[in-house]
């Protein structure tokens, strides 16, 4: 298995480190020619969703990646990656607009609103969660399955081979969410 990690901004190196620990091949996607490499899954890391969306367009990556995702490429979006995949975005404009969720940008406030929590995640049990200027999912449509909630807000969901988290699992030592995604890819 080979995973492409969008490396335009955000914690892409940390996602790579998690995949290294899971002995999974990966490479960074920085420009159009990187899409010529074969890959089985994609990670959209956190960062600033508006900046990432602009870079995707400027570097001519948006359309080819959107096409791959629509054709079933498994994708994992964390924080800004969640916003990029959302069909609706309060306080922003949809980018890929593929996943049946409505996201609220910066829902937990500014950088000072960052926090750590622990919550149930699907059938994995309690998972540590790091939130940094995080969004949350205001609503999940019938195609999306809610996987985790914190303080009454949806913070993780899945739709087909798309997984999103409002938190940053790559900033903890816990490999469970990345393993969950890799199992989703293999299914």
For the chain, the structural domain boundaries read 2-186
The closest of 143, 177, 181, 141 to 160, measured between CA atoms, is 143
User: What pTM, to 2 d.p., does this model score?
Assistant: 0.95
Answer yes or no: 14 catalytic.
no
Single out the catalytic residue among 15, 26, 79, 95.
Answer: 79
Asked whether 80 and 47 are in contact (CB, 8 A), the reply is yes
Report residue 170: phi and psi, to 5°. Answer: -75, -10
Span 2-186 CATH architecture: 3-Layer(aba) Sandwich (3.40)
- 14, 15, 95, 168: the active-site residue: 168
User: In the 8-state DSSP scheme, what is residue 166?
Assistant: S
For the question of residue 179 being annotated catalytic, the response is: no
Mean pLDDT by 10 residues, the chain (187 residues): 96 97 98 97 94 96 97 97 97 92 78 81 96 91 97 96 97 97 95
170 is catalytic: yes
Burial class of residue 27, CB neighbours in 10 A (0-12, 13-18, 19+): middle
């Amino acid at each position: 298995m080979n995973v492409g990690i969008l490396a335009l901004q955000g914690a892409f190196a940390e996602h790579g480190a998690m995949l290294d620990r899971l002995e999974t091949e990966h490479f960074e996607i920085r420009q159009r020619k990187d899409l010529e490499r074969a890959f089985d899954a994609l990670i959209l890391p956190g960062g600033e969703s508006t900046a990432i969306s602009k870079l995707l367009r400027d570097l001519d990556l948006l359309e080819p990646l959107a096409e791959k995702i629509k054709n079933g490429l498994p994708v994992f979006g964390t924080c800004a990656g969640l916003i990029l995949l959302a069909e609706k975005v309060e306080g922003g404009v949809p980018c890929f607009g593929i996943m049946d969720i409505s996201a609220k940008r910066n829902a937990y406030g500014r950088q000072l609103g960052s926090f750590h929590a622990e919550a149930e995640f699907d059938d994995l049990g309690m998972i540590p969660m790091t939130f940094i200027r995080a969004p949350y999912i205001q609503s999940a449509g019938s195609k999306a399955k809610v996987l985790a909630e914190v303080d009454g807000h949806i913070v993780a969901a899945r739709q087909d081979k798309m997984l999103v988290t409002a938190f940053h699992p790559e900033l903890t030592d816990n490999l469970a969410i990345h393993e969950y995604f890799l199992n989703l890819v293999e299914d």
